Amino acid sequence: MKRPHPQPRRGPFDPAPAGKLSRALPALTVMLGSLVTIWPLVATIPVLPPMGLLMLLGWRLMRSDNFHIWAALPLGLFDDLLSGQPLGSSMLLWMLCFFAIDLIEQRLMFRDFWQDWLIASGAIAFCLITGRFFATPITAHVDTVLLVQVAITIMLFPVVSRLCAWLDEKRESA
């Protein structure tokens, strides 16, 4: 009878292994952010920010080790299924944002919050404007509303980033 290899024991100063809930918390919060789009909200113009994208960017820019590079695909699919965008648009756009953030991280040695906000602003504008071309015809007059939605979403990023930092702090202490 073969004996299984013994698991190496943890040393007294090694960090405790992360639980399943703490590892899944970033993905769950992105999915909860995507669920905001099904909230029954009456508005004359659609300016609801894409909370799933904001949560994804907040987690990705704060802690790059939370998500694998492929994690944008299933999270984008979940967002596409809920938001009513053409299937695959969020998958593609979020994946391109992940690639762009990885390229920027390789070039910059250090980043501060202002640079994260600038990176997130570019990603938000790219996703919303490109998503407009996927979802509506070119002749549709939605450009003004789209720019308002981009501005609101960019201004909301610091709040979402702080929420991600607070959740990460609670996750690490648990």
For Cα atoms 163, 165, 168, give the angle at the middle one, nearest 5 degrees: 110
pLDDT of 6 above 70 = no
Average pLDDT across the chain, whole number = 88
Question: What secondary structure does DSSP assign to 35-90, as a single string?
Answer: HGGGS----SS-----HHHHHHHHHHHH-TTSS-GGGHHHHHHHHHHHH-PPTTHH
Name the nearest CA neighbour of 55 among 108, 105, 94: 94
Contact call for residues 97 and 79 (beta carbons, < 8 A): no
Residue the block writes with tokens 């694998």: 68
Q: Tell me the C-alpha to C-alpha distance, in Å, between residue 28 and each of 33, 51, 66, 82.
A: 8, 12, 12, 15
Helix (H) or strand (E) holding 34: helix 20-35
pLDDT of 30 above 90 = yes
In eight-state DSSP terms, residue 14 is: S
* From 16-20, 63-67, 130-134, the region with the lowest mean pLDDT: 16-20
Rounded mean pLDDT, 21-43: 89
